[in-house]
Chains A and B, each alone.
Chain A
Amino acid sequence: MVRYALTGVFVWLAVSLPLTATAQSANPFEADPAAIQAGRQMFAARCTACHGADAKGANGPDLTEIWQANDDDGRVFAIVRNGVEGSAMPPSQAPDNELWAMIAYLRSISTVPPFVTDGDPARGREIFVENCQRCHRVDGQGGALGPDLSRIAQVRSRDALVESIRDPGASVAEGYRPVRLLTRSGERIVGAVKAEDAFSIQILDTNQRLQGYRKTDLAAIDRDEDSLMPKFGRVKLGERELEDLLAYLGTLRADRADIGGNRR
C-alpha cells in the first residue's frame, strides 16, 4: 500500500492575530461544485504540508475522518478559524468564504452518497453480529480491534466496502496494521500496531488488551500478514449474504455530533 502526502508548501496561516469564532454552523457552500473546486485549490496551497494531498494525514491528522467521527461543518470552521491550542494547527485569518469553501471541499471527499442494494438490512445485521461485531463497533456496541463502522456509509463507497470485505489486506489504515510478537518467555501475541519507536511497540492484541512491549523483551516481531481481518470470500460469504451485509452497512450513517474531540 502506498500512502502519498503532498508537502512542500508551508501551512500558511497567521498565528498571532486576534481570534474570532463564528456562530454560523451551516455551510453556505455545501455541495456547491464551484466552491468545492476553489476550496480544493486553497486546501492544496495551505493545508497539505501537514494534512497531506489527499487530506488523509501527514504530520497532522486525517481530515477525511472528522465527519465520520463527529463533526459538523460549523465545528470544523471554528477549528480552522481558531487553530488548536497546544498543537501545530495555527489559527487562520482567511475570509469566512474561503474557509467555508475549503470545508465544502473536505466534506466532498470525506462523505459518499447512499448506495443502492437489494439486500435485506435485517438479515445483514444478523450477519454483522455473527461475523464482524467482535472486532467492529456500531453505536458503541462491539469490539475495538477494527475501525468503528457507525458512520461507515458516509465515508466509504460500495466498491470500497466490497474490497474491504473480500480482500481486507488491500488497504489497511495506520493503527490497524497487524503484528505477531514472540516474547523471550515464549508467549505469542497477535495484535494491531498502535504506535512504535526504536525501542518499544504498543499494540491492541486480539484479546483487545492495550499493551506495550519493550523490544528487548521480544524474540521476534513479525509483520508479514496483510490484515488481522479474515478474508470473506464467496464460500464464507455468498453474493446474497454480501448484499444483505452491504444493505445493513448502508444504513450506518449515524450523526454523532454530540461527541467532541479528535482522536489521532
Chain B
Amino acid sequence: MRMRLILAAVLLAPALPAAGQSQPGEGVSYADILAGFDHPEQWLSYSGDYTGQRHSPLTQITPENVDRLAPVWTFQTGTLSRGRGFETSAITYDGVLYVTGSNNYAWAIDARTGRAFWEYQRDLPNDLTYGRAAPVNRGFGILGNRLFMVTLDAHLLAFDRRTGDVLWDTVLADYKIGYAATGAPLVIDGKVIVGISGGDFPTRGFLDAYDPATGERIWRFWTVPDPGAPGSETWSNPDVLSRGGGGTWMTGTYDPELDLIYWGTGNPNPDYYDEDRAGDNLYTNSLIALEADTGRLRWYYQFTPHDTHDWDANHVPVLADVDYRGEPRRVVMLANRNSFFYVLDRVTGELLLGKPFTATTWAREIGPDGRPIVLNEDGSNGCLPDQWGGTNFYPPSFDPELEIFFVNFRETCATYVPQAPVIEPGVLSVGGVVWVDRDQEWGGLRALDIETGKPRWEFRYPSATMAGVMSTAAGLVFAGDNEGNFAAYDSRTGENLWHYQTGFRIWGTAATTYMLDGRQYVLVPSGAVLIAFALIE
C-alpha cells in the first residue's frame, strides 16, 4: 500500500521547470519572455523573442530529414477574413497554444492534439470602419496568467488564459472615425505595448503602453505631432495633423539593455493624394525608437518621406548584434515596402545601409544625407512597386550565424493616380487609385547579405506573396506562398527541400516552432486552419 502511494506521488508530480522559469500555475513571467528561445517549448511573443529575428535554435528537423515532415493535426477555426489572411502567430506555453483569429475569435488549443479548451468570440458592432475592411488579428501577448488581445473596434482586452474570461476591457480609440486594432501586443516588464490601425482613414496614429494588471494607460506617443511640437513643421497644413495617419499596426521589437522599443509607422493620410500635406510628414513611414519607461522619442528614421504610395513601414524591425564591416554593432534591420533594405545602428539611428532588394525606379539610391534620391514618384517613368510594396508586414527572419536576412519579396509594376478624397470621419480617404500590371507580377524568397543588401540566393514563386518566413539553427528556412504552399529551404543554398500544399494562400503570417514531448512541431496558419507539422515517427 505504501509503495503504491509513493509511486502515485511520483507519477503525479509535475515536471520540474528549468532553472529561472516560472511554475506553470504562476503563468508567464517577464523573465520567461526575456529568455525567448532559451526555452524551446515556449513561443511567448509575436516573433518568439524580443529581437524579431524569428530564428529558432531548434535542430530536430534538419535539411536531411525535413522530407519526413508531415501534418500531425489541423485546427479548423470556422472563420475567415474576407480578402485577407489568418494572420496570427500562436503563443505557446505549457503545452497550450493561444491563438487569435479573424473577426476577433480566439482559442486555447491543446498543442499535442489540436483540440480546443475554450473559444472566445467578441460581439462586434455593425458599424466597424477599418475593422470591416481587414477583420484580422495577429496574435496574443501574454504575462502571468493573462492574455492580451486588441479588437476590430479598437479595444484592448485582457483574458484569463485558463478560462478565456475577459478580465478587463480598455478603449484604445473611437472605431467610428476609422480606427481599429489588429496587431499582437508586445509585453515588456510591467507594460503592454499596443499599436493602432486606421491610417487609410482620417485618423492620427499613436503607440500606447498599458498596465497589464489594470488596463490603465501609462503613456501614449502620437506618431503625428501636436501643432508646434518637433516634426509638426514637416506638415504644410496644421489642420491635417489631427488626421495625418501614421498607423502602428504591426508589432515592434525591444532591446531590454537599451530599454528602447522599435516600432514601424504607417502612411500619411490621404495615402496617395498630397495637396494638403506638403513636407516630409513626420513621423509617418518611419522607424521610431522610444524609451520604454516614458514613451519619449529617442531617434527616428523616415524611410519614405512624404509618401504617396501607401508604403507603410509597419514591419518587424529585426534586432541583431553583429560584426558589421569589421566593427561590432547593435543593428536594426528592415526590408521596407518601398523596396529598399535598411540596416541602422539601433543605438543612434545612424543609417549603415539602404539598398533596393526588388526592381524599382522610385529612387536611385539613398543619398549621403540618408534621404532617398527620388526619380519617379508616380510610376509615369517606369514601374514602381504597387501599394502592397516590395515586401509587406508579414515577418522576415534573420540567421545570426549566416548573417542572412530572409524575406519574401514582391515584384510588381504600378502607376499611381491621386484624386482628392472626401475627408470625413469614418470614411475611407486613400485619395486615388493604383494601376497594377498583373502580367508583371511575381514573387519569391530572397536571402539578403546584410552588408551589401544583395541576394545570396533566391527562390521564385509564380505570383507576389503575402506570406512570411521563419528560420531555424538547423539550416532551414520555412516560408509560405500565395499559391498555398508551405515549404522548407536550405538556408545556405536556397534549395527547396520540402513543401506541403495547404489548400489556401498563406497570407500575413509566418510559421512558429516549439518542442513538446521531445518532438519539434512547426505550426502555420493558412486560410481558416492552423496546421501542426512534425517528423513522421
Contacts and interface: CB of A to CB of B under 8 A. Distances in A.
A6 interface: yes
Contacts of B94: none
A197 to B, nearest CB: 3
A2 B415 CA distance: 14
Highest count of chain A CB atoms <10 Å: which of B132, B272, B386, B459: B132
Nearest to A6: B433
B438 A3 contact: yes
A95 interface: no
Interface string A47-64: 011101100001100000
A21 interface: no
A1 B439 contact: yes
Contact of B135 (A9, A15, A197, A198): A15
A52 B437 CA distance: 11
Contacts of B481: 197-198
Interface string A19-31: 0000000000000
- B contact residues, range: 35 or more
Contacts of B483: 196-198
Contacts of A52: 438
Contacts of A8: 271-272, 310, 387, 416, 430, 432-434
A52 B439 CA distance: 13
A196 B462 contact: yes
Q: Is the interface of A mostly helix, strand, loop or mixed?
A: loop
A44 B430 CA distance: 13
Contacts of B423: none
B83 interface: yes
Interface residues of A, number: 34
A49 B135 CA distance: 16
Nearest to B127: A14
B436 interface: yes
B82 A16 contact: no
Interface string B452-472: 000000011110000000000
B436 A7 contact: yes
A174 B130 CA distance: 33
A4 interface: yes
A6 B434 contact: yes
Contacts of B432: 8
B435 A10 contact: no
B132 A5 contact: no
A86 B434 contact: no
B42 interface: no
A89 interface: yes
Interface string B386-429: 11000000000000000000000000000010000000000010
Nearest to A198: B461
Nearest to A17: B126
Highest count of chain B CB atoms <10 Å: which of A12, A17, A87, A199: A199
B278 interface: no
Interface in A101-150: none
B245 to A, nearest CB: 15
A88 interface: yes
B200 interface: yes
Given A15-B132, A198-B483, A2 B439 contact: yes
A198 B485 contact: yes
B74 interface: no
A11 interface: yes
Interface in A165-220: 196-200
Interface in A22-48: 44, 48
B428 A12 contact: yes
B437 A16 contact: no
Contacts of A250: none
B484 interface: yes
B124 interface: yes
Given A86-B80, A197-B461, A198-B461, A4 B438 contact: yes
B236 interface: no
Contacts of A59: 83
B338 to A, nearest CB: 16
Nearest to A57: B438
A33 B462 CA distance: 41
B484 A7 contact: no
Contact of B133 (A3, A11, A53, A198): A11
Given A50-B83, A53-B433, A87-B82, A198 B499 contact: yes
Contacts of A12: 133, 428
B126 A14 contact: yes
Contact of A4 (B437, B460, B485): B437
A89 B82 contact: yes
B242 interface: no
Nearest to A60: B83
B376 interface: no
B496 interface: yes
A15 B484 contact: no
Nearest to B435: A4
B433 A58 contact: no
Contact of B200 (A10, A50, A86): A10
Highest count of chain A CB atoms <10 Å: which of B434, B485, B487: B434
Contacts of B439: 1-3
A47 B49 CA distance: 40
Highest count of chain B CB atoms <10 Å: which of A4, A48, A87, A90: A4
A190 to B, nearest CB: 20
Given A1-B439, A198-B460, A198-B461, A9 B433 contact: yes
B379 to A, nearest CB: 12
Nearest to A174: B438
A5 B386 CA distance: 11
A88 B135 CA distance: 11
Contacts of A1: 439
Contacts of B460: 198
Contacts of B348: none
A198 B465 CA distance: 12
B501 interface: yes
A163 to B, nearest CB: 18
Contacts of A17: 126
Interface string B267-278: 000011000000
Given A2-B439, A199-B487, 17 more contacts: A2-B437, A6-B433, A6-B436, A8-B310, A8-B387, A8-B416, A8-B430, A9-B430, A11-B82, A11-B83, A11-B133, A44-B433, A196-B462, A196-B483, A197-B462, A198-B483, A199-B485
11 contacts: A2-B439, A7-B436, A8-B434, A10-B428, A11-B133, A16-B128, A50-B83, A52-B438, A197-B481, A198-B462, A198-B499
Interface of A: 1-12, 14-17, 44, 48-50, 52-53, 58-59, 86-90, 196-200
